[in-house]
A = this chain, B = another copy of it.
Amino acid sequence: MATRLPGAPALEREQLLDFLYQMLLIRRFEERSAEQYGRQKIGGFLHLYIGQEAVAVGAVAALSPEDYIVSHYREHGHALARGCDPKRVMAELFGREGGVSRGKGGSMHLFDKERHFLGGYAIVAGHLPIAVGLGLSGQYLGQDRIAVAFFGDGAVNEGAFHESLNLAAVWKVPVLFICENNQYAMGTEISRVSAETEVYKRALAYNLHAEQVDGMDVVAVYEATKRLAERARSGEGPMFLEAMTYRFRGHSMADPELYRSKEETQRWLGRDPIARLKDRLENADLLREEEYTDLDRRAREAVDEAVRWADASPPPPPEALWTDVYVGRGPVRGRDHA
């Protein structure tokens, strides 16, 4: 059997298989989340990452575990890629005490401090200045550490995007902005709301390095991220990566998807990042069908286990309502009604 992929000599077979496994894990995790949402085990908004797996997996693999990550509300993939325990992520979606945010955050607000996964945020682009601050802290303290922010094409039109990129550029903050351009913000196609549809070109206005990558190709994402992360780390200032991708499902579980055509979706399904890596590995003689089946089985089992574990985790105790409002400050007003 071969050991390297043509065109990607730096990657060991092990790592490529791990990419495949992680993408499968995210895919199966999201499929089960949708199912559990239907059963009302999960409430609120649920934004699936299906179709975009190559971005989270490729990008996060290229980072150091010390690097900070922040993301938006479509962040299950980033959390899982960063190594957050699927059991605890699922428990968070269930609103249980065992959840990564102890049930208080929910699907849109996964936090795992130990893994420097500093949150999913639900205000579009609201986390971008936070990423700049995290990057600044590393720079200030002389740490060998960058901050990475994931966000969508819709976030690019917010003022916070603009202010963050400019501030990061002026201070040469080590931060990597990764825009997952899936071409829609809810039901709005990018060309209807962005004066420039190639997002990385908008980033060029801030005098920083920006480029585009095929977000359906995990190897390409990995390599681009690796390169840009190292440049940011070595003091070149902020970097910008636009990953061209597509969400295979609706914006959230409530989306009737009236705004895009079946044909378009079909076309993108043909570029499924999982199938693509699988084919490529098989063609290069790096993967056998039964190995793939085995990886997928492991992913499914991990997700089964996650669902079981989440369901066994109790809801947060009523007392949890009152904690974590402040550090080191007593009970808060309104408690008398409890």
A: residues with CB less than 8 A from B are 157-163, 165-166, 169-170, 192-196, 201-202, 204-208
Contact = CB atoms under 8 A, between A and B. Distances in A.
Contact of A192 (B159, B169, B170, B204): B170
Q: Looking at chain A's contact residues, is the secondary structure mostly helix, strand, loop, or mixed? A: helix
Contacts of A194: 166, 170
A117 to B, nearest CB: 26
A58 to B, nearest CB: 27
5 contacts: A157-B162, A159-B163, A161-B162, A162-B163, A169-B195
A196 B206 contact: yes
Contacts of A204: 205
Contacts of A158: 159, 163
B157 A163 contact: yes
Contact of A159 (B162, B201, B202): B162
A159 B196 CA distance: 17
Contact of A195 (B157, B192, B201, B206): B206
A217 B90 CA distance: 65
Contacts of A170: 192-195
Contact of A196 (B161, B163, B205): B205
B196 A201 contact: no
A207 B204 CA distance: 12
Interface centre among A194, A196, A201 (most CB of B within 10 A): A196
Nearest to A195: B169
Given A158-B163, A161-B162, A202-B205, 17 more contacts: A157-B162, A157-B166, A158-B159, A159-B162, A159-B163, A162-B162, A166-B193, A166-B194, A166-B195, A170-B192, A170-B193, A170-B194, A170-B195, A195-B207, A195-B208, A196-B206, A196-B207
A82 to B, nearest CB: 29
Nearest to A193: B170
Contacts of A169: 195
A192 B167 CA distance: 10
Contacts of A202: 205-206
Nearest to A169: B195
A166 B170 CA distance: 22
Nearest to A201: B205
Nearest to A205: B205
A162 B164 CA distance: 12
Contacts of A206: 195-196, 202
A132 to B, nearest CB: 12
